[in-house]
Structure 1
Amino acid sequence: PPPPVATSAPASAPPSKAVPALPPPKSSASSHPPLKCPMAGTFYRSPGPGEPPFVKACGR
């Protein structure tokens, strides 16, 4: 096998300009407070185990 050849690595490029931070989210014009949900997409049929359901199926 041929002997190993030493090569020099190219100098690293200078760091590019820092990316500016994202702007703060725009506030909505809603009069409702923001909804903070710990588990998005979770459906609760009742307020707790053994409690009556919020709404009965086909109930009017």
Structure 2
Amino acid sequence: MEDTITITTELSDRHAWALAQLVNRIGWNEVRINAVDDDDTYLMREALSVLRKSLAESGYAPR
């Protein structure tokens, strides 16, 4: 199990919704072109999933 960290930030309502939309819409291809390899892509997508969950738990869950 990896160590975890807590990141705290403040966003405006508009920014939180925009970020929630982004992490909801971003797909494999968009992440892959910014990753070193497929393993890196999977890791980035897992991190986006954690961010998506945190936003949803804060009330920012786009359909």
TM bin (shorter chain): under 0.3
| Greater helix fraction, Structure 1 or Structure 2 | 2
Larger Rg computed on CA atoms: 1
